[in-house]
């Protein structure tokens, strides 16, 4: 018998609103950083990924040890806001979780695989579009 996942409309709405906030935040940070730096290195993307990873870690750490978060709050903050701001934060936490759980080989495959295959997929997509 198949199991169905019931998605609450409220949760989806919170993720959508959070995603809009995160996406606008990413754009604003990137524009401000580009104006203050050189266009020869993607400083804005670099900063967004580091800030998003830090914020994700702070929220997860607080939720685990100090301030319990409801499922809706987690969805809004982690999936919505930070997912819209950067998915790199989720990538970083997933890799750390594998390492924490003693899965160092799997973590290495995951982390390197995401980077190598992600870049290769982007290259392939560009080549196919031409």
**Tell me: the pLDDT tens digits for 81-96?**
999 999 788 888 889 9
**pLDDT value at 122 more than 60:** yes
Q: Kindly state the tokens that stand for 118.
A: 């992600």
Expressed in angstroms, the distance from the first to the final Cα of the chain is 45
**pLDDT value at 77 more than 90:** yes
Q: In the chain, what are the domain boundaries?
A: 7-86, 87-130
pTM for the predicted model, two decimal places: 0.77
Q: Kindly state the tokens that stand for 6.
A: 């019931």
Contact 81, 15 (CB under 8 A): no
- The helix (run of H) or strand (run of E) holding residue 27 is helix 9-36
């Amino acid at each position: 018998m198949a199991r169905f996942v019931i998605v609450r409309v409220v949760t989806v709405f919170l993720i959508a609103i959070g995603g809009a906030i995160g996406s606008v935040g990413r754009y604003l940070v990137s524009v401000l950083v580009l104006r203050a730096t050189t266009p020869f290195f993607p400083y804005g993307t670099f900063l967004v990924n580091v800030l998003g990873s830090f914020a994700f870690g702070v929220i997860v750490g607080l939720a685990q040890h100090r301030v319990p978060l409801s499922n809706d709050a987690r969805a809004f903050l982690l999936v919505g806001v930070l997912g819209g701001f950067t998915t790199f934060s989720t990538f970083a936490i997933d890799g750390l979780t594998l390492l924490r759980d003693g899965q160092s080989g799997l973590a290495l495959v995951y982390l390197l695989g995401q980077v190598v295959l992600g870049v290769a997929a982007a290259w392939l997509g560009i080549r196919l579009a031409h």
